Amino acid sequence: MNQPADPLAAVQAALRQDPNNPALYNSLGCIYYKQGRLNDAIPIFEKAIRLGPQSWEAHYNLANCFIKREQLSQAISHYIAALEINPNHPDIQVNLAMTYVSEGNYTDALPWLEKAAGRQPEFAELQGHLAQAYLEVGMPEKAIDQYIKAVNLSPERSEWQHNLAVLYLRDNQQQKALEHFTKSLQLNPDNPTAQHMINALQQESGTESPRQYVQELFDQYASYYNKHVSDKLNYKVPSLLRQAVGEQLPINKGQQRVLDIGCGTGLCGVYFRDLAVYMSGIDLSYEMLQHALSSQAYDSLCCGDVNQNIPGAGLKYFDIALAADVFVYIGDLHNIFSLVSSGLVDGGLFAFTVEQLSAGDLKLQTSGRFAHSKVYIQRQSSEHGFKVLSHSTVTLRHDNEAEILGEMFVIQKL
């Protein structure tokens, strides 16, 4: 019986007879690719493209090589070139979409994911990625519909159940949020965020938001945070804090060293930069900090848990500390008050807001946020060496057209 010819030897022999054939070079590159010889495959595919610029296969195969080497930008350029030649090829569309997803570029991924998911409606993975893309680009209504499709196809995916619950919560559909947080926790018992939100929605007690919950919430929220809080929530806290602090500073007061605790995307930085000779921000969400960096309002930014440590703690360095809409994610304020007290100069100001609570010290609300009473804030202030300079009731934001009331304080380190 004759043994089958060696494919590599056969292609090489064919190339000796026809050395300028792009299809043969593409075949040779595919053999090298299957053997894991990327360093040999890449220049062969590049030669195939030089000889046959309209070879979408060579562009596609070269892009796949770059994917293997995690050279995403090069892969994207060749997937795009392949699609220019063969615009309706489903594998190229899917690979391009997933490469954009790997880059975290959901804006460019979205149209290709829509095409791919529409073509393969039973492919759960594609439906889930499309849902994530809608979430990342700030289209929560479409994200809800898409996550419903994804979890119907693959209900065992804990992260999809979780994301759907978060979206329902933002849409004030608390019962549906509870249902999907519960499913997520059943599938992944090691999920402190889901447990926290179940506690909140069932009105169980709690004194602190899990770090993972806060980080995930704002990492997801970062890309459309500023637009959402201004357009949907009518959020005015940074400007209100700036006015309240300004009323407590002497007219001839020099430039201040300002610390923005939980700085987020840098909204307070914009309002307080005029006061600051030096301005520092800290936030748990790395994605939020990227947006704060682009504001150019800060001299330094750091990523960390403000309930564990803050810039200047123990150094009596800052003149002003701010915490705009931050304590709703902390609960028990003993640690943060202690840290701020140790980081402020004598006479330094601490300005912050809390959500309003009429009785008790603090309460975990169905929103997953904490409310604090005026009595509790006054007690924490006294215990940590502060006196209250000003206090007022303010509208923090709007939620489904309802006013969310809070308390704004400016206290002074004695």
- CATH code of 403's domain: 3.40.50.150
Residue 268 lies in a domain: yes
Divide the 414 residues of the chain into consecutive groups of 10 and give the mean pLDDT of each group: 70 92 95 95 96 96 96 97 95 95 94 93 94 91 96 96 90 91 94 86 73 60 47 73 92 84 92 94 91 93 94 96 94 96 97 95 89 96 97 84 88 97
Residue 401 lies in a domain: yes
Pairing of strands 256-261, 318-323: parallel
The CB density around residue 248, as the number of other CB atoms within 10 Å, is: 15
Residue 334 lies in a domain: yes
Residue 357: give the domain boundaries: 224-413
317 and 343 Cβ atoms separated by less than 8 Å: yes
Residue 354 lies in a domain: yes
Residue 342 lies in a domain: yes
Residue 271 lies in a domain: yes
Q: Distance (Å, rounded) from C-alpha 211 to C-alpha 203?
A: 20
Please report, as a single letter, which amino acid is at residue 358.
Answer: S
- Looking at residue 132, its pLDDT comes to 93
- Copy the structure tokens of residue 247: 């009323």
How many structural domains does the chain have? 1
The total number of residues shown for the chain amounts to 414
- Looking at residue 46, its pLDDT comes to 97
345 Ramachandran zone, left/alpha/beta (phi>0; psi -120 to 50): beta
By the 10 Å C-beta count (0-12 exposed, 13-18 middle, 19+ buried), 36 is classed as exposed
- Copy the structure tokens of residue 179: 């249902």
| Cα–Cα nearest to 325, from 378, 288, 275, 276 | 288
Residue 381 lies in a domain: yes
Residue 343 lies in a domain: yes
